[in-house]
Amino acid sequence: MTPDDFIGALRAQRLLAIVRGGDPGAALDTVLTLFRHGVGAVEVSLSGADALGVIARARTELGPRSLLGAGTVLTENDADQALDAGAAFAVTPGVTSAVAACRERGLPVLAGALTPTEVAAAVREGAAAVKLFPASLGGADYLRALRAPFPDVPFVPVGGVDAAAARSYLAAGAAAVGVGSPLIGTSADGPGDLGALAGRVDRFRSEILGAV
């Protein structure tokens, strides 16, 4: 996947689900449920239990075309392992050495940044898009302010994004929004009600995207 392909997919999906699981089996079930109920882009955080194994097993189940990525990628080794596990993209919490490492390996990267200086650094290092994190510190007005000097940078706000905030960020020009616990709940931490997760997915997509 090229960086342009990745950006295009984010803009089309508008919703990136973030899974950080304490139970590998439950995390895998969560990922599969998200895709089966219409979420087209999912990030599995490497800070979760056996996250690389979850990515590898999900990739086997989903096939090569699903937009499944690795989050909390911090180092060159993380980038290598994410790629080997089948991640189609990487997400970093900041501008670390992993950004250039992902670019060099042909892995599109969504790099975390908050300030204008960090946004410029992320772009310079080769980020395909910028994860505005933690977005809750400034909200949609801050995103609008950042887009003035960076009109061509695709931003994906992450952190404290519920349905109401998601609508505001998208209206302010975000390429997509990244959503964790308001969508996932605790479903990735142990055997739970996947039907309830599916219901949250349908409601969330309906509320922010106008479709299920």
Within 46-122, strands assigned E span 67-71, 90-92, 109-113
How many CA within 13 A on the CB side of residue 117?
0
6-37: burial string, b at 16+ Cβ within 10 Å, e else: bbebbeebbbbbbbbbebbebbbbbbbbbbeb
Asked if residues 19 and 27 have their Cβ atoms less than 8 Å apart, the reply is yes
Query: What architecture (CATH level 2) is domain 3-209?
Result: Alpha-Beta Barrel (3.20)
Catalytic residues: 43, 131
Token pair, residue 210, equals 């106008």
Task: Give me the sheet containing 177-179, strands edge to edge.
Answer: 155-157, 129-132, 109-113, 90-92, 67-71, 41-45, 15-19, 177-179
Query: What is the full per-residue pLDDT of the chain (212 aa) written as tens digits?
Result: 899 999 999 999 999 999 999 999 999 999 999 999 999 999 999 999 999 999 999 999 999 999 999 999 999 999 999 999 999 999 999 999 999 999 999 999 999 999 999 999 999 999 999 999 999 999 999 999 999 999 999 999 999 999 999 999 999 999 999 999 999 988 888 877 888 899 989 888 888 876 43
How much is the pLDDT for 105? 95
CA distance 26 to 75: 26
Give pTM, 2 decimals.
0.95
How many CA within 13 A on the CB side of residue 114?
11
How many CA within 13 A on the CB side of residue 29?
18
Token pair, residue 53, equals 């194994």
Asked if residues 114 and 158 have their Cβ atoms less than 8 Å apart, the reply is no
How much is the pLDDT for 211? 42
How much is the pLDDT for 186? 86
